[in-house]
Amino acid sequence: MAGQGRLSDIMRSLNQANEVGLRIRSAGYVLEKSDMKAMLAELAGSISEAKMELGILQGYLQDKDVELKTMGELLHTKANLRRRGDGYYKSREGRPYGQPYCSYCWEHEHKLMHLHNRILKKDVRICPHCKNEYQAQRTPYLEADALMM
Ligand SMILES: [Zn+2]
């Protein structure tokens, strides 16, 4: 079916345009005005159909580019993330550092949500997204500077 940006549809439209050209040539470029009009209309139709299909195909390709980029970033993040205690951390040379991310959000949605300290409760951290609570002791802030030594 047309309108899906498939290469086969694009090729079919271009072949139709080509056929019209061949018919004009085989008539020795001499045609009745009405035949000429009909053929030009057919030619314009085939070309605009191919154009439309190409536009759709280009949209798909752009979507795929975005998808690939997102997947690449996710893979990169995944490769650099380390679990420590109950949280996930960015890592440098395989060693986790910085503020912890919610393990639930990462494992279920691949979202990186920093845990926040619960107001007036220093021993509890909370995820602003899923509202899961964590023991601060099991999700500490890890100094990055210590890694440099
Ligand atoms: Zn969460």
Q: How far is the CA of 119 from the centre of ligand 1 (A)?
A: 17
Q: How far is the CA of 128 from the centre of ligand 1 (A)?
A: 7
Predicted confidence (pLDDT) per residue in 13-49, tens digit: 999 999 999 999 999 999 999 999 999 999 999 999 9
| pLDDT recorded at residue 19 | 96
User: Which pTM value belongs to this model?
Assistant: 0.63
Predicted confidence (pLDDT) per residue in 78-133, tens digit: 999 999 999 999 998 889 999 999 999 999 999 999 999 988 888 999 999 999 99
Cα(89)–Cα(142) distance, rounded to whole angstroms?
9
Q: What is each CA distance from 114 to 25, 78, 97, 135, in whole angstroms?
A: 70, 16, 13, 14
Predicted confidence (pLDDT) per residue in 11-23, tens digit: 999 999 999 999 9
Half-sphere exposure of 14 (CA within 13 A, CB side): 11
Q: What are the structural domain ranges in the chain? A: 7-78, 82-148
| pLDDT recorded at residue 149 | 45
Q: How far is the CA of 65 from the centre of ligand 1 (A)?
A: 29
Q: How far is the CA of 127 from the centre of ligand 1 (A)?
A: 5
Q: How far is the CA of 89 from the centre of ligand 1 (A)?
A: 14
Q: How far is the CA of 76 from the centre of ligand 1 (A)?
A: 20
Q: How far is the CA of 66 from the centre of ligand 1 (A)?
A: 25
**Helices 33-80 and 7-26, axial angle in degrees (round to 10):** 160
| pLDDT recorded at residue 118 | 86
Cα(74)–Cα(16) distance, rounded to whole angstroms?
44
Q: How far is the CA of 21 from the centre of ligand 1 (A)?
A: 63
